[in-house]
Each structure stands twice: as structure tokens, then as C-alpha cells.
Amino acid sequence: PDVIIEAQFDDNDAECGQDHLQDTLTDDIKKLSLDTGEKAKAVGIGGVHGTKQDDGPKVNDPRLLPEKLLQRTAKVVYILEKKHSRAATGFIKLLADKNSELFKRCAMFSPVDHRVPRVYVSLADCPPDFVTRPEDYSNMLFICRIVDWKEDSNFAAGQLAKSLGQAGEIEPETEGILTEYGVDFSDFPPEALECLPQNLPWVISPRELAKRRDLR
């Protein structure tokens, strides 16, 4: 009960391995339950009295286990507020299964932030030569916006917004971070600039300094 089973799979078989993943998890959980039951029987046989306790609690019945051994679970029933901007920075690549119908319509977007799910994007949103020369875009950063995520799918659906440039360069990386967090970094409109002092160089007047706390 104190063992957490994690299943990991890479991008190459992720899009076609959902059923296999569920079967693997089911088998692992069954093995864990059997191992726990065998250990409990072994303790009963090899105990001080040397008798098998048939009337003892069944370890594979969670209702009879001590509370400290239980892992609490919950279910999300409603989203109060969407905190994420639904925009992510990442890379695009072709799907692994070249014979599938999905391969002809979609590409896989892998976000840099692993808290964001991988996203199916339409090939129409990708560069025209992406299918024939995918290696040219292996190090190219893109912005993708999630538009849907079905509850029975491991991957969301999204649209490519724009190409940022080469990964590792300051300007594309900075623009990606600002976009992900919903920061408006566009130029100020003329109305905002007109509120600033027009006579330059501008200095703070002694009268204004007298009623303010100087934190420079």
C-alpha cells in the first residue's frame, strides 16, 4: 500500500499506447495486491503461534485496512477559475505512427513546461515544408494555444499561434515566457505616451520631492 506505481512513456508511442498503458497499470496493481497478500500469509505462518489466521482482515479489501495505509482519492467536479493562459511554448514534431489517419492531419506539440499536456495541432497551422523537412524545425520554438481537451484523451487539441525563433536565444525565450503568463508587452498607444512629460530632460520638482518619500 505504501508503494506508488508510475508508468512512463515517451512521445514515440504515447499517441497509440493509451490502451497498453491502462493494461500495464492494471497488471501492476494486481501484482502489488498479490504480493501484499502473500506477505501477510507468510507472517501468519511464521509467527509465534505458527497458526494460519483465516479470520484475519483481507489486505486486498481497502475497507478493512488501517486508515494510515489508505491513499485518499478525489475527483475534480468543477473548475472555478482558469488560471492558466492556455498558451505554451514548445516544439513540434511528426507523430510516430505514419500509417494512421491522424498522422496525415496532425502534428504533436511538446511544451517546454511539463505541467502542460502535449497537444495535437493541425498540419495546416505548421510551416508548409514541415512534413518533408521536420528536422529543420526540431530546435524552433512555437507558441501554441490549447482550445480543447477531451476527458478521454491524454492529449489536448490546440492551434499554433506563431513561430518565436531558435530555442536558447534571449528574445524568443523572453517572448515565450511573457506570452505564457499573459503579459501584454506590445507598444504603448499614443494616448498613454501623451500622459508622460513632453519637455525633456524632465526632473522632479522640489515641491513634489517635499511631499514624497524618496526610494531611489
Instruction: Check if the beta carbon of residue 120 is closer than 8 Å to that of residue 156.
Output: yes
Q: How confident is the model at residue 36 (pLDDT cuts 50, 70, 90)?
A: low
pLDDT at 200: 86
Can you tell me the distance from the alpha carbon of 60 to that of 76, in angstroms, rounded to the nearest whole number? 26
- Collapsing DSSP to helix, strand or coil, 175 comes out as helix
Average pLDDT, the chain: 81
pLDDT at 93 over 80: yes
Strands 87-93, 140-148: pairing is antiparallel
pLDDT for 1: 46
The structural domains of the chain, with segments of one domain joined by +, span 85-181
pLDDT at 77: 93
pLDDT of residue 37: 56
Residues sharing a CB contact under 8 Å with residue 202, sequence separation 6 or more, in sequence order: none
- Render 182-210 in DSSP notation, one character per residue: T---SPPPHHHHTTS--SSS----HHHHH
Q: Lowest mean pLDDT of 68-72, 122-126, 145-149, name the range.
A: 68-72
**And the C-alpha cell for 26?**
492494471
Q: Taking residues 10-38, what's their average pLDDT?
A: 59
pLDDT score of 48 more than 50 = no
Phi, psi dihedrals of residue 160, rounded to the nearest 5°: -75, 130
Q: Average of pLDDT values for 179-198?
A: 90
Mean pLDDT, rounded, for 73-101: 90
More confident residue, 53 or 119: 119
Under the banding of pLDDT at 50, 70 and 90, the label for residue 10 is low
Q: Is the pTM of this model over 0.85?
A: no
Q: Kind of pairing, strands 156-166 and 140-148? A: antiparallel
Helix (H, G, I), strand (E, B) or coil at 23: helix
Mean pLDDT of 42-68: 60
Residue 147, pLDDT above cutoff 70: yes
Topology of domain 85-181 in CATH is: OB fold (Dihydrolipoamide Acetyltransferase, E2P) (2.40.50)
Q: Which tens digits make up the pLDDT trace of 98-141?
A: 888 889 899 999 999 998 999 999 999 999 999 999 999 999 99
